[in-house]
Chains A and B, each alone.
Chain A
Amino acid sequence: MKNNRIFSGRQPSGRFMPGKLLSSPYIVWAAIFIVIPLGMVFYYGLTDKTGAFTMENVISIMSAEHAKALWISLGLSFVSTLICFFLAYPLAMILANMNVSQHSFIVLIFILPMWMNFLLRTLAWQTLLEKTGVLNSILSFLHLPALNIINTPYAIILGMVYNFLPFMVLPIYNCLVKIDPNVINAAKDLGANSVQTFFKITLPLSVPGIISGITMVFIPALTTFVISKLLGGSKILLIGNVIEEEFTQAGNWHLGSGLSIVLMIFILINMAASAIFDKDGEGSFL
Chain B
Amino acid sequence: MMRTAAKKIYIIVIFIFLYAPIATLMVLSFNASRTRAKWGGLTLKWYASLFDNREIMQALWNTLFIAFVSSITAVIIGTAACIAINHMGKRKRAVIMGITNIPMLNADIVTGISLMLLFISLGLKFGLGTILLAHITFNIPYVILCVMPRMRQLNPSTYEAALDLGASPVYAFFKVIFPDILPGVLSGFLMAFTMSLDDFIITHFTKGAGVDTLSTKIYTEVKKGIKPEMYALSTIIFVTVLLLLFLVNKAPKEKP
A contact residues vs B (CB 8 Å cutoff): 1, 3-4, 6-7, 9-10, 14, 16-23, 25-27, 29-30, 32-38, 40-41, 44, 87, 90-91, 94-95, 104, 108-128, 130, 132, 134, 162, 165-166, 215, 219-220, 222-226, 229-230, 240, 243-244, 247-248, 253, 256-257, 260, 263-264, 267, 270-271, 274, 284-286
Which A residues are in CB contact (< 8 Å) with B168? Answer: 1, 3-4
Which B residues are in CB contact (< 8 Å) with A35? Answer: 99
Given the interface contacts A7-B170, A34-B99, does A18 sit within 8 Å of B83 by beta carbon? yes
The residue among A23, A130, A270 with the most chain B CB atoms within 10 A of its own CB is A23
Give the docked Cα–Cα distance between A9 and B170 (Å): 10
Give the docked Cα–Cα distance between A244 and B234 (Å): 27
Asked if B133 and A33 sit within 8 Å, CB to CB, the answer is yes
Asked if A271 and B80 sit within 8 Å, CB to CB, the answer is no
B80, B222, B231: the one within 8 Å of A22 (CB)? B80
Could you list 29 examples of A-B contacts with CB < 8 Å? A16-B87, A16-B159, A18-B86, A19-B84, A26-B80, A29-B137, A32-B118, A33-B133, A34-B99, A34-B137, A36-B118, A41-B110, A90-B10, A94-B10, A112-B245, A119-B219, A120-B231, A121-B22, A123-B226, A125-B21, A127-B24, A165-B14, A165-B18, A223-B110, A240-B107, A244-B109, A263-B109, A267-B106, A286-B191
Which B residues are in CB contact (< 8 Å) with A219? Answer: 105-107
Given the interface contacts A25-B81, A219-B107, does A115 sit within 8 Å of B113 by beta carbon? no
Give the docked Cα–Cα distance between A211 and B118 (Å): 32
Give the docked Cα–Cα distance between A43 and B138 (Å): 22
Least distance between B225 CB and chain A CB atoms (Å): 10
Residue B179 interfacial (CB < 8 Å) = no
Asked if A25 and B80 sit within 8 Å, CB to CB, the answer is yes
> Residue of A at shortest CB range from B190?
A111
A121, A123, A256: the one within 8 Å of B113 (CB)? A256
Asked if B107 and A220 sit within 8 Å, CB to CB, the answer is yes
Supplied contacts A9-B169, A40-B121, A120-B226, 7 more A-B pairs, CB within 8 Å: A94-B11, A116-B21, A116-B25, A118-B215, A120-B21, A219-B106, A229-B222
- The SS class assigned to the B binding surface is helix
Give the docked Cα–Cα distance between A36 and B122 (Å): 12
Which A residues are in CB contact (< 8 Å) with B21? Answer: 113, 116, 120-122, 124-125, 128, 162
The residue among B105, B107, B222 with the most chain A CB atoms within 10 A of its own CB is B107
- Digit string of B153-185 for contact with A (CB within 8 Å is 1, else 0)? 000100110010000111001000000000000
The residue among B21, B77, B87, B99 with the most chain A CB atoms within 10 A of its own CB is B21
Residue B102 interfacial (CB < 8 Å) = yes
Residue B96 interfacial (CB < 8 Å) = yes
- The SS class assigned to the A binding surface is helix
B101, B114, B156, B160: the one within 8 Å of A38 (CB)? B114
Give the docked Cα–Cα distance between A270 and B15 (Å): 29
Which A residues are in CB contact (< 8 Å) with B11? Answer: 91, 94-95
> Residue of A at shortest CB range from B143?
A26
Given the interface contacts A34-B102, A113-B18, does A247 sit within 8 Å of B113 by beta carbon? yes
Which B residues are in CB contact (< 8 Å) with A253? Answer: 113, 117
B24, B28, B114, B169: the one within 8 Å of A37 (CB)? B114
Which A residues are in CB contact (< 8 Å) with B36? Answer: 126-127
**Number of chain B interface residues as a range:** 35 or more
Asked if B194 and A26 sit within 8 Å, CB to CB, the answer is no
Give the docked Cα–Cα distance between A90 and B116 (Å): 41
Residue B20 interfacial (CB < 8 Å) = yes
Asked if B238 and A264 sit within 8 Å, CB to CB, the answer is no
Give the docked Cα–Cα distance between A271 and B3 (Å): 38
Which A residues are in CB contact (< 8 Å) with B234? Answer: 116-117, 120
Residue B198 interfacial (CB < 8 Å) = yes
Which B residues are in CB contact (< 8 Å) with A116? Answer: 21-22, 25, 234, 237-238
Asked if A132 and B37 sit within 8 Å, CB to CB, the answer is yes
> Residue of A at shortest CB range from B80?
A22
Asked if B241 and A26 sit within 8 Å, CB to CB, the answer is no
Which B residues are in CB contact (< 8 Å) with A270? Answer: 105
6 residue pairs, one from A and one from B, having the closest CB atoms: A23-B84, A37-B114, A124-B21, A26-B81, A223-B107, A7-B169
The residue among A95, A111, A121, A256 with the most chain B CB atoms within 10 A of its own CB is A121
Give the docked Cα–Cα distance between A123 and B134 (Å): 25
Residue B201 interfacial (CB < 8 Å) = yes
Residue B131 interfacial (CB < 8 Å) = no
Least distance between A92 CB and chain B CB atoms (Å): 11
